[in-house]
Amino acid sequence: KMAEKQEEPSNTQNGEPDNTEEGEEKKKKKLKREDLPPFEIVTGERLPAIFFKFQFRNVEYSSGRNKTFLCYVVETQGKESVTSRGYLEDEHAAAHAEMAFFNTILPKCESSLRYNITWYVSSSPCVTCADRITETLKKNKNLRLTIMVGRLFMWEEPEMQAALKNMKSAGCKLRIMKPQDFEYVWQNFVEQEEGEEAKAFVPWEDIQENFQYYEEKLAEIL
């Protein structure tokens, strides 16, 4: 079964081998969990490549991948169209990136505007976040949301399946990321090394099979 959001913090969760950082970083890591703020939203222009390569892999058994990275594109259509983009990650267990998006990036929807939102997320939302998405879409008819996910989270659970169906009936488009979608995220949301030519996206070996596997599962659920 998938153990995707397990609680124990693991130093390898961002794809970094242990013992890479010395000194300051080590001290920070030693802070007990309760010394940390309840949650902190890390937003940035682009996410580090090492996070992308680890967190977005569409593997079937995703141990250690217990963070959610959410890259978003918001097109606001009013007198003039405005597009904004960025990414969020959930730092601590108290708030998931999906919630953080509604609390900070889009705290209120102006009823006179239309919003087309696309998320590229490392895994599909948990039940609580799925319910929040459903509620938000029902309340805001001027909001269109498409969620592209790398993996399905706990899709075997009946409660999870019901939550995904509710999202769909509230108008949310849920899609599994294809190899081209991973490439899009790589080009638009991942930082490239300073001064180097932008590196081409290198698909991992089983990217296509895993996409097909999850696409079948999602089709069965919905």
21 as an active site residue: the answer is no
DSSP letter for 113, please.
S
- The pLDDT value recorded for residue 195 is 56
Q: For residue 20, is it within any domain? A: no
Amino acid at 189: F
Regarding beta strands 41-44 and 81-90, do their DSSP bridges make them parallel or antiparallel, or are they unpaired?
Answer: antiparallel
- The pLDDT value recorded for residue 55 is 66
Q: For residue 86, is it within any domain? A: yes
Q: What is the CATH number of the domain that holds 69?
A: 3.40.140.10
7-16, 118-127, 179-188, range with the lowest pLDDT = 7-16
Q: Compute the average pLDDT of residues 100-121.
A: 89
pLDDT band at 92 (very low <50, low <70, confident <90, very high): very low
Q: Is the pLDDT of residue 93 over 50?
A: no
47 in helix, strand or coil?
strand
Q: For residue 52, is it within any domain? A: yes
Q: For residue 17, is it within any domain? A: no
- The pLDDT value recorded for residue 168 is 97
Beta strands in 49-151 (DSSP E): 69-77, 81-90, 114-123, 143-151
**What distances in angstroms separate CA 79 from CA 82, 143, 145, 148, 213, one per listed residue?**
9, 17, 21, 28, 43
Helix (H) or strand (E) holding 43, with range, is strand 41-44
Given a contact cutoff of 8 angstroms between Cβ atoms, the answer to whether 58 and 207 are in contact is yes
- The pLDDT value recorded for residue 62 is 52
180 in helix, strand or coil?
helix
pTM: 0.74
**What distances in angstroms separate CA 22 from CA 14, 19, 29, one per listed residue?**
17, 7, 10
Q: For residue 94, is it within any domain? A: yes
Listed ranges 26-30, 75-79, 149-153; the one with the highest mean pLDDT: 149-153
Q: Which domain holds residue 76?
A: 42-191+205-221
Catalytic entry in 25, 40, 98, 194: 98
The count of structural domains within the chain is 1
Q: Compute the average pLDDT of residues 188-206.
A: 77
Residue bearing the bigger pLDDT, 8 or 119: 119
CA 6 from centroid of its chain's CA atoms: 16
Length of the chain: 222
Average pLDDT of the chain is 77
Listed ranges 81-85, 173-177, 182-186; the one with the highest mean pLDDT: 173-177
Residue 14 is encoded by which pair of tokens? 């961002």
Q: For residue 18, is it within any domain? A: no
Q: Is the pLDDT of residue 64 over 60?
A: no
